[in-house]
Amino acid sequence: MGGMLLCMFACLDACTNVPPPRTVYQDVRTAVQLRVDPQAGTGHSHPAHLQVEQMVRILSGIRVQPDRRTAYRILAGEAETAPAFTVAEALALAPHLVKALSAAKPDELVTFYRRISDSSTGLAYTTGGLFMREGHLYLVLANYRQSPSDAMSLGIPAYEIDPYDTPLMSLKRAGYTVTFVPQEAEVHPVDNQWKWEFPDRGKLIVIDPLLVFRSSGSSSSKDPTDPKPVR
């Protein structure tokens, strides 16, 4: 199963003649790009406009909950959640994600790539993608501080793995579930006409940005699908 998933994501461009991504920002550790989304259907609600402050708040609300085996969960309970992004990461990514959403076409999604290398973590990657759809923000956290060695479960040598070109490819099946704080801002839209699929459903979350801002009492809340950018 892992090999099939790897092939699906790694060969997406070659198999479907998808045009190359449009780079919005790139440095030695970060990349934010716009990629054609084969699942866009009638089109996402792009371009979309958010304030940088709003994006920081959204990224700061993303949580990851490590998966536990049933037997261990019965004994020890559910694992505690942890922020998916540090304060520094949220501040670094937010301006570029906001810019990308404002430049995105209806058939595109925004992808992000963050390379982490320090004494405590070693080499790891946090990657994923996001897009706006009818007032909801869809966010995939494909990799959360994932080590290249995790990709060995997919049958690929660790030294060949760097998800820069495939930020929506998970280097490890499951491993964690994505949640959001405040919980009331997490939504589960039902749309019989359209559904965006991701192999690891626990890594896909749908957020109502307006509920995020209302819950925090923000006075800067604004419909993110408004065609006029927020200054």
Q: What is the enclosing helix (H) or strand (E) of 125?
A: strand 122-133
pLDDT of 118 reads: 82
For the stretch 69-79, pLDDT in tens is 543 444 444 56
Chunked mean pLDDT (size 10), the chain, 231 residues: 44 63 97 97 96 96 79 50 96 98 98 91 93 96 89 66 91 88 85 76 93 66 46 34
pLDDT of 78 reads: 56
Owning domain of residue 48:
2-215
Tell whether omega for the bond before 47 is within 30 degrees of 0, i.e. cis.
yes
DSSP state of 186: B
Residues 6 or more apart whose CB falls under 8 angstroms from that of 191 comprise none
Q: Is residue 230 part of a domain?
A: no
Q: What token pair was written down for 98?
A: 């906001």
Q: For the chain, how many structural domains are there in total?
A: 1
pLDDT of 174 reads: 74
Q: Is residue 69 part of a domain?
A: yes
pLDDT of 74 reads: 41
Q: Is residue 211 part of a domain?
A: yes
Residue 23 CB-half CA count within 13 A: 8
Phi-psi sector, 111: left (phi>0), alpha (psi -120 to 50), beta: beta
Q: Is residue 224 part of a domain?
A: no
